[in-house]
Structure 1
Amino acid sequence: MRKIFVRLDSNRTPRLAQLLQVGGRGGGVALKLYLALLWRCSSEPYQTSKPHRAWATLLGLEEPEGKGARRVAAALKTLEGLGLVSVRRVPAEPNVVQLLDESGDGSEYAPPSTEYARAPKGEVGDARRARNVYFKVPSKLWLEGHIQSLDAPGLAMLLILLAEQADIRPVWFSTDVFPQRYCISQKSRAAGTLRLVERNLLRVERQPLSEFPGQTSVFDRKRSRKLYNLAGAAAEGPAPEAAAETGPKPARQARPARLKTLRRPTRPPSG
């Protein structure tokens, strides 16, 4: 999945944030359905014609033959409106759903790994690579039923943490930068984090901060930041490394200058 799905790209609001703004539980179903489409339709021709009841069953929706199928139909309309899929309706047959780019700009879908590798050298290639930075959603999250049962805030935080590689090293977020970068409220962030902790998919630790790095003083203000590290089925990477900064780096404060000791002038020898 391309990182631009979860993180602000220029002035375009991430599609993840827009799905969270859909009323009721509709946004959560649409998000799960899009993840399912990426999982099941990631090879050419990047389309599917499975009936709604099949998707409802995969997503664990109640009454897949009736209410669940209708929720899938509504979710497809939401995804179509956001430019994430196109739907070709066939009389008396299941609709043909065509996967589109995660940015929501309506462009055709292509695997981000392929597009990243094919990018030429130079500035044009740099921009193309930046647009195709991607992350993987571990299949265990599907197989163990986490994606099916997580609510929208929980899924949103899971995708954000995967995008920031919290599965291989702890990360931290600046309180001011987070809503600007992901366009998600503090309430949704807190609720989503709690859901992941409850499922043992996330570990949260507090890291104390010193006002003067490398020094300790009784006059330091007690400050700390939260470190997030994915766990369980959400972590399939190597052992955690040093914490990655996903917010602005704190300004390094200069050490207090030492006062030089003034020496008394030496008296000239008496003649």
Structure 2
Amino acid sequence: MEMDELRAIAEGELSRVAGKSQRTGNVPFPPDFVIAKEGQDRKASLARMVQGGRGGAVRLRLYLCITMMATSKPFNLRKPPTPRGWARMLALDPQSGDRRVQRNLKWLAQNDFIKLEPRWGGPAEITLLSPAGDGRAYVRPIEEPSTRGRYVGVPVEFWTNGWILELSTTAVALLLVLRDALGGRNAPEYIPTYKQRKYGLSSDTWTKAIKDLSGYGLLTVGRESQGSTYDYQRMRNTYLLDWDRLKERPQLLEGTAE
């Protein structure tokens, strides 16, 4: 099956499950998912999830889809897609997609992001756990006292318009990171190095993902001077997200190489 055909099937599946879940507006993710807490001795959940090359790609997309689909208490999917159904939804190779799905659902369960409960005659029921990966019960980000209701909101069009399929894993990860770091600001903003490090993504990941996001018109990177006119002038990057771009179909800007 050609990739274009796989992608068309996947987009249809994503639109169907989003409609079934009655999602509108933003899908919320807590700050704990994207940035490490003060004193935490391990990487943020998002950085842990994207490690491992192709495996990271599948497990991140699975987790994002599960979160989008589980809308109410107890935040579970009682009759989730089969591994082959997940593979169709993520536009994976039909020959190996179901095995990759099974392997990465198991990884998510072993790392306490979800709980899998065997179900007679069908795939295991999936229950969301805390995005911090600590095995606690899932709590809506807007109801989480420790974050005072702050969350990283991702428009449902990220799924229904196929962005989750189009963007690279690193680009998806950095999109979430920048959404948290920049909040709702509509002016270019500098992100200090110490804060970048808390997200746990390597400098190489930042470089590659910036290129991807810029190529699709989701991110504008500027330059501004650091220090006064009497100090040594250093240039630093500023970032501005075009969040409304997600409401359109993914398309590389003219003159942008893939």
TM over 0.5: yes
Count of residue correspondences: 214
Q: Residues 138-182 of structure 1, C-alpha deviation per residue, up to 9 Å, x if partnerless?
A: 112212211122222111101101112355333322235422x11
Residue 104 of structure 2 is aligned to residue 86 of structure 1: no
Q: Which structure 2 residues correspond to residues 94-133 of structure 1 after superposition, within 5 A?
A: 94-116=123-145, 128-129=146-147, 133=150
Question: What is residue 6 of structure 1 aligned with on the other side?
Answer: 34
- The residue type equivalent to 1:141 in the other structure is F
- Residue 234 of structure 1 and its aligned partner are, at CA, apart by 5.3
RMSD: 2.1
**Aligned residues with identical type, % of pairs:** 30
Larger helix share, 1 or 2:
2
SS of 1:57's partner is helix
Q: Secondary structure of 1:137's match?
A: strand
1:106-163 per-position Cα deviation (integer Å, ceiling 9, x unaligned): 01112111234xxxxxxxxxxx235x53121111221221112222211110110111
- Which of 72, 92, 109 lines up with 1:61 in the alignment? 92
Q: In structure 2, how many angstroms separate the alpha carbons of the residues matched to 1:113 and 1:234?
A: 25
- Residue 26 of structure 1 aligns with an amino acid whose one-letter code is G
Partner of 1:15: 45
Tell me if 1:222 matches 2:252: no
Partner of 1:266: none
Counterpart for residue 182 of structure 1: 199
Question: Partner of 2:182: helix, strand, or coil?
Answer: coil
CA, structure 1 residues 234+52, in 2 after alignment: closer, same or farther (shift >3 Å)? farther
Q: Distance in 2 between matches of 1:111 and 1:40?
A: 13
TM-score (norm 1): 0.72
Tell me if structure 1 keeps the 8 A contact 2:116–2:124.
yes
Distance 1:168 1:234, change over 3 A: farther
Counterpart pick for 1:156 among 145, 148, 173 = 173
Task: Give the stretch that moved more between structures: 168-177 or 41-50.
Answer: 168-177
Shift in Å at residue 94 of structure 1? 1.3
Structure 1 contact 167–231 (Cα < 8 Å) conserved = no
Contact kept in structure 2, 1:201 and 1:231, CA below 8 Å: yes
Does the aligned pair in 2 maintain the 1:15–1:104 contact within 8 Å? yes
One-letter amino acid of the counterpart of residue 193, structure 2: T
Residue 211 of structure 2 corresponds to which residue in structure 1? 194
2: CA distance, partners of 1:234 / 1:3: 22
SS at match of 1:136: strand
- Contact between 2:163 and 2:246, CA under 8 Å: does it hold in 1? no
Bigger fraction of residues in strand: 2
The structure with higher relative contact order (CA 8 Å, sep 6+) is: 2
Report the Cα distance in structure 2 between the residues aligned to 1:78 and 1:14, rounded to whole angstroms: 16
Mark the structure with the bigger radius of gyration: 1
Matches within 5 A, 1:127-146: 128-129=146-147, 133-146=150-163
Residue by residue over 1:41-78, the C-alpha shift from the partner in whole angstroms, topping out at 9 and shown as x without a partner, is: 02123111222222222222232xx4222211111111
What residue number does 1:263 align with? none
Unaligned runs of 5+ in 2: 1-28, 248-258
1:177 and 1:162 map into 2 onto residues whose CA distance is 13
Q: Which runs of 5+ in 1 are unaligned?
A: 117-127, 237-271
Contact 2:112 2:135 in 1 (8 A): yes
